[in-house]
Amino acid sequence: MYTPKQASNAASSVELATLWHRVFGDDLTYVYRFYHHFQNDIDILIQCTGKDGNDGEIVSAAHFIPVSYRYFRKDYPGSYLYAAMTSPEHRGNNLMGRLLELRLAQAYTNGELFMCTLPAEPSLYDLYARFGFEPVFYLHRCVLTKQQLQSNQLTLSFSSKASPAYSYASTYARRELTVVKDKKFIEYTTIENEARNGMFRSVYSGYFYAREIPDGGVHVKELYLHGDNFPHIAHMLMSIYPHAPQFVFDFCPGTCPAQFPYTIIRAGSARIVNVFDALSAFARKNHENSMRFSLEDPLIEQNTADYFMKDGIAKMSQRKFELTPMSVSEFTRMIATDGGDGIPYMNMMLD
């Protein structure tokens, strides 16, 4: 028998850290750093053995970090599912599924618009799809050898002394259709990267994180790559990593010079939590459009209804099974991409 409940960080951090270490293999110093940094700023749901869970063992847990989604110059609240873990000997009992169901109900009550996650393994995308999560986020990946980087060096770049939080607030935090992290999240991203021998650099056109990877190359993330800015920090990277054989750039989809081929990689899924609020935001931005559809949400019953949008106003009524049906995942994709015209972006950086 298992009991789901809200965790107290102070009371559960040691047991949670032990479970984390067993499941993911991360160093305990890193795990305790995570709990210390966020403390009471995240929600943690756990599954414990026993009838009431008070004296039972924690065998499953999921962490939810506050984030927002930038849409039509407004930030809508949501949460990022991180470090979803279940003890190997207790898997197959739908423990994580139950935690997700509970959290979705909580999120609706708390006024959150969406939930997002970056599955740790490709196979987990199908698992989250069962709960309405749709893979809407992608990154562009460009791999350049040291010789290619040298031959295509476009400009030199000069470091600035801007903090990670300031650099982020003046770039990605202003981008439409972007999952936005708060200052605490950005600070932890920097701490986590440095703890793994990575580095942060703020440059004239934004910022980037870089970290050496096992094959001897360098992984570069969060750089705003577009037009003649790519690879504007070539000189800096080669100065810091003179012996790296190649550089792997993961960047926000955008315009990239033709001489730099890239591949598209999946980078996360999202789920709308409050359908009416999301449709209302969509209607205000797309006031010239109209639509009507029926939606059934098996996990958040308040979302099950008929929906109408016209003249910038959204309405809902009791479901009558007469309108064209739309699934939660289809609706999520419509909202995340602003009707298919936009490119949503998420790069959580916690890896």
* pLDDT single digits (tens) 89-111: 999 999 999 999 999 999 999 99
Q: Report the share of the chain in percent with pLDDT over 70.
A: 88
Question: Could you check whether 2-112 and 138-266 share the same CATH topology?
Answer: yes
| Rounded alpha-carbon distances, angstroms, from residue 159 to 145, 165, 167, 202, 208 | 23, 15, 12, 6, 11
| Rounded alpha-carbon distances, angstroms, from residue 294 to 69, 113, 306, 321, 330 | 25, 19, 4, 7, 12
Q: Report the share of the chain in percent with pLDDT over 90.
A: 52
Mean pLDDT of 70-84: 94
pLDDT of 336 above 60: yes
Estimate the share of the chain in helix, then strand, then coil, as percent rounded to the nearest 5.
35, 30, 35
Q: What is the pLDDT of residues 267-276, one digit of tens each?
A: 999 999 999 9
Query: Within a 13 Å sphere around the CA of 185, how many CA atoms are in the beta-carbon half?
Result: 20
Amino acid type, 125: Y
**Contact yes or no for 122/185 (Cβ under 8 A):** no
How many residues in the chain? 351
Domain boundaries, the chain: 2-112, 138-266, 272-336
**Contact yes or no for 111/77 (Cβ under 8 A):** yes
Q: What is the pLDDT of residues 198-217, one digit of tens each?
A: 888 776 666 788 899 888 89
**Per-residue pLDDT, 232:** 61
3-state secondary structure of 16: helix
pTM equals 0.91
The top-scoring range by mean pLDDT among 30-34, 161-165, 166-170 is: 30-34
Mean pLDDT of 293-314: 97
Mean pLDDT of 14-24: 93
Average pLDDT of the chain is 87
**Per-residue pLDDT, 159:** 61
Please, which pLDDT band fits residue 255 given cuts at 50, 70 and 90? low
| Rounded alpha-carbon distances, angstroms, from residue 103 to 83, 87, 243, 329 | 14, 20, 46, 17
**Contact yes or no for 24/83 (Cβ under 8 A):** yes
Lowest-pLDDT choice from 22-31, 144-153, 222-231 = 222-231
**Per-residue pLDDT, 191:** 84
CATH number of 2-112: 3.40.630.30
138-266 homologous superfamily: Gcn5-related N-acetyltransferase (GNAT) (3.40.630.30)
Lowest-pLDDT choice from 6-20, 55-69, 328-342 = 6-20
pLDDT of 301 above 80: yes
